[in-house]
A and B are shown apart, each in its own frame.
Chain A
Amino acid sequence: MSQREYHIVVLGSGGVGKSCLTAQFVQNVWIESYDPTIEDSYRKAIEVDGRHVILEILDTAGTEQFTAMRELYMKTGQGFLLVFSITSMSSLYELQELREQIRRIKEDDNVPMVLVGNKSDLEDDRAVPRARAFKLSQEWGGVPYYEASARRRANVDEVFVDLCRQIIHKDRDQRERERETRRPQRQRPGDRRNRRNHRPRCTIL
């Protein structure tokens, strides 16, 4: 199988540090000068469960005020990283709207998605109780919840890998479904969820 390319969209309100998260992920450890203007600035080849995939990450950090542009960005994404800062409750609330928009655009309830509470290194400034964020992730249908720190490079790769894994599973399911097109569609969503092993998870470093 040729190397698959998956599109990941990173979303979240301004100032939650999502660009740091993305930059940390795509950057090589040895890079001492990061140039975001070159073509493969946001591409990264990773191995997930023995599969080599290429992730193309769309992180439009800095353009949060271009709200009308959002839908355009979301359209391409196969998986979504919803990032908030644990130091800002409003950044969590704003994700709710983003998630609804994704669901609407994708016309799908089970879009691969990960909820990320960034800035976990700023525990002292925590404004979002872990339970609150986790509850939200459960309300979203058991979306995995991570707390990450871009600054300390904690859980950075993990969130992307988790999302990628979800996309791979979904991709596989979709192809399976195409094969057995006769089966009625309506049974699928719930079915898929269980097979996708979508259990509540909470990951904190």
Chain B
Amino acid sequence: MADLVFESDDTNKHASAMVAPLNIQKSPKRSRSSRLGHSRQSSSRGGQSTTSQSHMSPPLTPRSSKDTLADQPSQPIFHNYLRAFYHFHPSSTVSSSTDESSITVPINQGDVILVHSVHPNGWADGTLLASGARGWLPTNYCEPYDHPTIRTLLNALTNLWDLVRDGENGDLVVFMKQDYIRTLIAGVRFFLEKTDCLTRESPLIVAHVGLRRMRKGLLGDLSSLVKTAKKLQEVLQTKDSPGLVFGRLDELVLKAFKLVTRAVRFLDIWAQDAVSLSFDMGEGNNRPLTPPSDSADLAVQPTAAPNQDGAGSAPANDDVASVSRASAIVTCEPLDHEATQPRNLARLSVAFSIPSDSDALQSPLFPPHAQALGKRLSVTHRLSYTGKSQSTRKHNLASERLNAAHDSFLGFIGSFIGLHLQSRSSEELALTTQESVIACRNLLAVVEEVWERDSRRSEPLQQAREMMYTRLAELVQATKDMFSTFEAGMDDEVIMPDQGKHLVVAATSCVRSAGECVTKARLVIERIGDFEFEIDEQGLSHSVFDQLDHNRPSLDQPQDARLPEVPNQSERVAEIEKPLPPPPMCERKMPPPLVISDSKPLPDVPHSRSGSNQNAGLRPLPNPTAESPVAASFRLSMSPLPQSLAPGAVPQLPQPSASDPSPSPASATQRFFGKSARTDSVNTSVADSSSTCRYSMRGETASIASQTSTRATTPDQSPAKKHSGQTLVSSFGSSSELRSVASEDVEAVEEHLLETTYSHELLYNNNGQISGGSLPALVEQLTLHDSTPDTSFVTAFYLTFRLFTTPVELSQCLISRFDLIGDSQSVGIPVRLRIYNVFKGWLESHWVIESDSSALGIIFSFATGKLRSALPAAGKRLAELTSKATEIRAGALVPRLASSLGKTGVSGSVFIPADNTAPSSNITRSQLNALKAWKDGRSQCSILDFDPLEVARQFTIIESKLFCTIQPEELLASEWMKKGGKGVNVKAMATLSNDLTNLVTDTILHVEDAKRRAIVIKQWVKIATKCVELDNYDSLMAILASLNTTTMLRLKRTWELVSAKTKARFDELKAVTDFSKNYAALRQRLHDHVAACIPFVGMYLTDLTFVDAGNEPTRPLPCDSGAEGLVVINFDKHMKTAKIIGQLQSFQVPYRLTAVPELQEWIESQIQRMHSSKEANPQSFHRQSLLLEPREPPRVIKAAPPPVSNGAANTAVADNRTATEDRFGMLSLSNYFTNNTKDR
């Protein structure tokens, strides 16, 4: 899932990077965010800051400048990453990390944390990047961590984490390839690029020793990560013990963590020093922005103070006091530490603090906040955290709800529209209308919830929602109109389709806006994090249900229902409008940022005692007025040790929302002090307190957290170095010109990073396969420097590229990659060789002369120009190939056989000479003589004269020959369906199959005597059985297409004479050819079939047709902002196509059978006879069938033409037709109605 990002624009980046550390209390000024008490902090690594650049110490968060802030009301964005700005050690006595990590993780200032979920009480389930430890940590000790430069890298890490988590559940496919690691590499590249440190020669790197070192370390980390990934791949390939795999997975995650941690540190240094350098270099033109921010800060501070004061010292609030007490103890130690870290003291203690409920009640600033809380107390999850893995899936999540509601909405509105397209009873109509409206409401309720949850009140979502309300109202109005214009005297079914027309239009537009709404809602969910849904069904749709109940009785009598319906409808309109939320202007019911303080209080943020001299100097705006009272109250509230808090003595937190039972301070304190180190203790403490389901849920989350943490905390294993060399060699494939092991070093990684990449324009599916991408991205994938491209990918690409690009465009794209990649040893050269290989493979075995010759000129000039100068031998060879390609008339240069495309397993047996092991043919001398006599025109032969096996064999040979000539190009883009298209061999297959079917029918129907007919049937059943044995399913289908049809089966007398044994065989054959369940039986047989085989081609043709029809040619690239993203090639579609064609090709293997030319000649003549026969069509066959065995109970079935003028109803219609011929349209419908009523 995409990381949830700030909306900062890049133009502010520099500005924000240059302002002095700010403490902006932006909230009080704005009513919107006033109660949040949320301030943005400049973050830093306190330990590292050498405050030499005193007034230039830049913040890391991109939004410290006032301008940015003004645009950004504080928001409960779900941040995937947090950064601690205080130490938090649950208990100073606990030192061993294993003991406490299962529940609460200690965090150190500067730690970056990957957040999995955030509980409403402000505790987050997170993993420390520094140590890999996972557990609960207080969010108020942290601030969101995000910066445009590092965002891609962070996203990549999130993805990796999710992949690994899936991997733990057994989904390891993705780790078989290196693609996933590429996103991390791209992240690092992007990071270095944005920080202007991409190349070693960049001025920053040259000028700054620290950065140079950090950069090197970063690349070293990256290289070691890549190494680990390769090791993991190796472990997976050798299918070693799963334990080893998990070990590697752990290592992988830890390496990635290390990498990101390093990048964070890099960014810290860069932000401090590098930017000042760049400022010196004259790039700091954004500087003037700083003063306003400062003044804003000034204005803001005093207002913030009372708030803080109220929270800290409120004497009426025992709980607050107790919390303070608790945290006071907790933070004693950290505070001491901070004393030694002066910069940190500059922080305003309220930063990122989450007001507790009591805050909200106490402070006059936040009065309405509390009411809103009732509904919003739930754990917020990272969307990707909840999205993928089944094990952690919760069906109450907003995203799930949204999908479910939308699905049911579509279902109902679909049938609603459907009803109006047809004349239907008003009863149905009314019911469906109601159902649709309810479904619509449910959907809106979900959307509403999402919207409310999002304190930013997403504008687009609101618009979409408003639009949907309007549309729904229109729809209801339309329904209302329709019912009111009703003529009561008419038949109850007379809701005319055209009346429904604008209703349908309204409904359709409703669907459209619903779609819009859902999309927007999803975006919001992505931003704020997924959350458990606690929709109040009663409150939101109760009234509708009420109304339904009202309507129901009347609906039982549809005639009467119509008029009462009208007021109901209007009521409904009113009803629908009611739940519209107040416009965003007057909203006061906003949830606090990030989390909602619920019950278990967070530890108070350690209030930094400012006044440190250095800081006073550093910061233009120290804020003693704001801080000191707090600190004072803080100290005041420090009282006896929390351990002494007996459950009974625990003061109750006041509950703003009465529904919530009292929380469990016990559990809170327990956690604080790390006393309950095990998972179950969380549950225990939950049980102790008067727990709600929410509590137990938290317990559950906690246990998940701790389970996982055991893996993530596995200590970093020192990597086994010995494997790496081999792995690399194997991953580079055979190309000896590629540098292998050496590329592992930092330099190689560096070069790799320098390459221009389009990998962000690639899409992967759940199996880690490429499912989409722009042409440059796909070409890049084809020519990666460090891994042989996936064979199925290459095959699919060669086969289908003409469907999404042109040969010229492809050549140009390859050449531009050749230009861009350069000629570095570890990256450039290998890539260039692969580019050459792509051209070579194309010319050698995938060249389609008709379409591709347009690119020949380009390729030739490339071969003789750029390629020759870079790689002389390759250039020469390619030039040769191009000149050869012009000579060849058609087809490939190298004879293209099944194995060149698709399956590789087909090789081996394929080219063994046929007479080697071929069974001897079952044909007698007399049969041969008979055939000779037939050939001389002396006598006739019958199918009965020959051995069924031999007939089946010869037919298989004939068919196999044809089948093997089918070229893959024939199967693309429904080519075989087109007149004059390429699919000649496919068409021939169809013709052959038809002729065989007709031959079977003909041989049976031409026999007068029923007994003899039965014998012919028996013979064909035998032949068909032999076809199955020969895996010739195409002939089998053709024979069954005759035997298993009404024309044949209706010959009751004949079938009575067929033996039970033959019938049983016939039933078996029917089972094989059964096409129900999408040819499940046949597919089963063909699955993993390797030997020669003729599958039923029709099935593949249908598959190909549906892949084409059911998949769009392009797919959108998901993007963060929700703006119109890039649309890329839907390569998934082409992969599917290639897979099907590959399957078909894997069967294109000649049979090892001995041909009997005489018999083949006779069979072919019979087929030819059918082909040219005018009688060989279903209609005349049916007639023959009727002649042989006339219909027994002479039921009247009208003769085929003319269909009109038969039967009373038809006559009526026909009569009417003359009257309405020239005024077709809805007008005529009434005539039909009257006619029909008359008939009745």
User: Chain A: residues with CB nearer than 8 A to chain B?
Assistant: 7, 14-15, 17, 19-20, 22-23, 27, 29-30, 32-43, 47, 49, 56, 58-73, 75-76, 99-101, 103-105, 107-109, 130-131, 134-135, 138-142, 144, 146, 150, 154-155, 157-158, 161-162, 185-186, 189-190, 193-194, 197-203, 205
Q: Given that A76-B1076, A146-B421, A158-B418 are contacting pairs, would A41 and B1106 also be in contact in the complex, using a CB cutoff of 8 Å?
A: yes
Q: Does B872 contact A (CB under 8 A)?
A: no
Q: Does B1136 contact A (CB under 8 A)?
A: yes
Kindly name the residue among A37, A41, A154, A201 whose own CB sees the greatest number of chain B CB atoms within 10 A: A37
Q: Does B683 contact A (CB under 8 A)?
A: no
Using A23-B1110, A200-B1228 as known contacts, list a sample of 20 further A-B pairs with CB atoms less than 8 Å apart, ordered by residue number in A: A14-B974, A36-B1110, A38-B1078, A40-B1077, A58-B1075, A61-B1105, A62-B976, A69-B1038, A70-B1178, A109-B1206, A141-B1203, A141-B1210, A157-B418, A158-B418, A158-B421, A189-B1207, A190-B1209, A194-B1236, A194-B1239, A203-B422
Q: Mark B469-496, 1 if CB is under 8 A from A, else 0.
A: 0000000000000000000000001000
Inter-chain contact B1204/A190, CB cutoff 8 Å: no
Residue of A nearest to B993 (CB): A66
**Can you sample 8 A-B contacts with CB below 8 Å?**
A7-B1076, A22-B1106, A33-B1132, A60-B1102, A69-B1037, A99-B1203, A190-B1207, A202-B497
Determine how close the nearest CB of chain A comes to the CB of B675; give it in whole angstroms: 47
Contacts of B1075 in A (CB 8 A): 58, 72-73, 76
Contacts of A59 in B (CB 8 A): 1102, 1106
Report the stretch among B663-671, B786-794, B832-840, B1193-1201 that lies at the interface: B1193-1201
Determine how close the nearest CB of chain B comes to the CB of A143; give it in whole angstroms: 11
Q: Given that A32-B1115, A71-B1047, A105-B1045 are contacting pairs, would A66 and B1076 also be in contact in the complex, using a CB cutoff of 8 Å?
A: no
Q: Mark B1197-1229, 1 if CB is under 8 A from A, else 0.
A: 110110110111110011011000100111011
Contacts of A203 in B (CB 8 A): 421-422, 497
Inter-chain contact A105/B1200, CB cutoff 8 Å: no
Separation of A103 and B1209 alpha carbons in the complex (Å): 17
Q: Given that A71-B1047, A161-B415, A203-B422 are contacting pairs, would A36 and B1106 also be in contact in the complex, using a CB cutoff of 8 Å?
A: yes
Inter-chain contact A37/B1083, CB cutoff 8 Å: yes
Contacts of A49 in B (CB 8 A): 428
Separation of A159 and B196 alpha carbons in the complex (Å): 60
Kindly name the residue among B417, B1083, B1111, B1198 whose own CB sees the greatest number of chain A CB atoms within 10 A: B1111
Q: Does B868 contact A (CB under 8 A)?
A: no
Determine how close the nearest CB of chain A comes to the CB of B320; give it in whole angstroms: 47
Q: Does B855 contact A (CB under 8 A)?
A: no
Q: Does B870 contact A (CB under 8 A)?
A: no
Determine how close the nearest CB of chain B comes to the CB of A78; give it in whole angstroms: 12
Inter-chain contact B1102/A101, CB cutoff 8 Å: no
Contacts of B1236 in A (CB 8 A): 194, 198-199
Separation of A92 and B1098 alpha carbons in the complex (Å): 23
Inter-chain contact A201/B1078, CB cutoff 8 Å: no
Contacts of A34 in B (CB 8 A): 1106-1107, 1110-1111
Inter-chain contact A131/B422, CB cutoff 8 Å: no
Separation of A70 and B1213 alpha carbons in the complex (Å): 30
Separation of A168 and B998 alpha carbons in the complex (Å): 35
Pair count A-B, CB < 8 A: 237
Residue of A nearest to B1102 (CB): A62
Separation of A118 and B232 alpha carbons in the complex (Å): 52
Inter-chain contact B1077/A39, CB cutoff 8 Å: yes
Determine how close the nearest CB of chain B comes to the CB of A157; give it in whole angstroms: 5
Residue of A nearest to B431 (CB): A50
Determine how close the nearest CB of chain B comes to the CB of A33; give it in whole angstroms: 5
Inter-chain contact A155/B1106, CB cutoff 8 Å: no
Q: Given that A29-B410, A62-B1098, A75-B1046 are contacting pairs, would A100 and B1200 also be in contact in the complex, using a CB cutoff of 8 Å?
A: yes
Separation of A22 and B1103 alpha carbons in the complex (Å): 13
Separation of A141 and B771 alpha carbons in the complex (Å): 48
Determine how close the nearest CB of chain B comes to the CB of A135; give it in whole angstroms: 6
Inter-chain contact B994/A67, CB cutoff 8 Å: yes
User: Which residues of B (740-764) have their CB < 8 Å from a CB of A?
Assistant: none
Q: Given that A68-B994, A101-B1178, A138-B1217 are contacting pairs, would A199 and B415 also be in contact in the complex, using a CB cutoff of 8 Å?
A: no
Q: Given that A35-B1136, A37-B1083, A65-B990 are contacting pairs, would A202 and B1038 also be in contact in the complex, using a CB cutoff of 8 Å?
A: no
Inter-chain contact A69/B1078, CB cutoff 8 Å: no
Contacts of A62 in B (CB 8 A): 974, 976-977, 1098, 1101-1106
Q: Chain A binding site: helix, strand, loop or mixed by DSSP?
A: mixed
Inter-chain contact B497/A36, CB cutoff 8 Å: no
Partner of B1102, one of A63, A109, A141, A189: A63
Inter-chain contact B1078/A41, CB cutoff 8 Å: yes
Partner of A131, one of B1038, B1107, B1182, B1224: B1224
Q: Does B997 contact A (CB under 8 A)?
A: yes
Contacts of B1108 in A (CB 8 A): 19
Determine how close the nearest CB of chain B comes to the CB of A108; give it in whole angstroms: 8
Contacts of B998 in A (CB 8 A): 68
Separation of A199 and B1213 alpha carbons in the complex (Å): 10
Inter-chain contact A144/B418, CB cutoff 8 Å: no
Determine how close the nearest CB of chain A comes to the CB of B1130; give it in whole angstroms: 9
Determine how close the nearest CB of chain A comes to the CB of B800; give it in whole angstroms: 16
Inter-chain contact B421/A155, CB cutoff 8 Å: yes
Contacts of A193 in B (CB 8 A): 1209
Contacts of A35 in B (CB 8 A): 1107, 1136
Q: Does B765 contact A (CB under 8 A)?
A: yes
Determine how close the nearest CB of chain B comes to the CB of A140; give it in whole angstroms: 6
Partner of B771, one of A30, A33, A154: A33
Contacts of A15 in B (CB 8 A): 974, 977
Contacts of B765 in A (CB 8 A): 33
Inter-chain contact A68/B1240, CB cutoff 8 Å: no
Separation of A104 and B1199 alpha carbons in the complex (Å): 9
User: Which residues of B (972-1025) have their CB < 8 Å from a CB of A?
Assistant: 974, 976-977, 987, 990-991, 993-994, 997-998
Inter-chain contact A103/B1106, CB cutoff 8 Å: no
Q: Does B1080 contact A (CB under 8 A)?
A: yes
Inter-chain contact B1209/A201, CB cutoff 8 Å: no
Separation of A205 and B417 alpha carbons in the complex (Å): 10
Separation of A202 and B422 alpha carbons in the complex (Å): 8
Q: Given that A30-B403, A101-B1178, A109-B1207 are contacting pairs, would A63 and B422 also be in contact in the complex, using a CB cutoff of 8 Å?
A: no
Q: Given that A71-B1045, A146-B421 are contacting pairs, would A199 and B1239 also be in contact in the complex, using a CB cutoff of 8 Å?
A: no
Partner of B1213, one of A7, A63, A131, A139: A139
Determine how close the nearest CB of chain A comes to the CB of B1128; give it in whole angstroms: 13
Separation of A186 and B1197 alpha carbons in the complex (Å): 11
Q: Mark B371-408, 1 if CB is under 8 A from A, else 0.
A: 00000000000000000000000000000000100110
Residue of B nearest to A15 (CB): B977
Q: Does B679 contact A (CB under 8 A)?
A: no
Q: Mark B607-640, 1 if CB is under 8 A from A, else 0.
A: 0000000000000000000000000000000000
Q: Does B167 contact A (CB under 8 A)?
A: no
Residue of A nearest to B1213 (CB): A138
Contacts of B403 in A (CB 8 A): 30
Inter-chain contact B1229/A202, CB cutoff 8 Å: yes
Q: Does B559 contact A (CB under 8 A)?
A: no
Inter-chain contact B497/A20, CB cutoff 8 Å: no
Contacts of A17 in B (CB 8 A): 1109
Separation of A104 and B1075 alpha carbons in the complex (Å): 21
Kindly name the residue among A14, A39, A68, A186 whose own CB sees the greatest number of chain B CB atoms within 10 A: A68
Q: Does B1140 contact A (CB under 8 A)?
A: yes
Contacts of A154 in B (CB 8 A): 508
Contacts of B1233 in A (CB 8 A): 199
Determine how close the nearest CB of chain A comes to the CB of B907; give it in whole angstroms: 25
Partner of B1045, one of A36, A72, A194, A202: A72
Separation of A130 and B1077 alpha carbons in the complex (Å): 36
Contacts of A14 in B (CB 8 A): 974, 977
Inter-chain contact B1041/A158, CB cutoff 8 Å: no
Contacts of B596 in A (CB 8 A): none
Separation of A76 and B1041 alpha carbons in the complex (Å): 12
Contacts of B1200 in A (CB 8 A): 100, 103-104
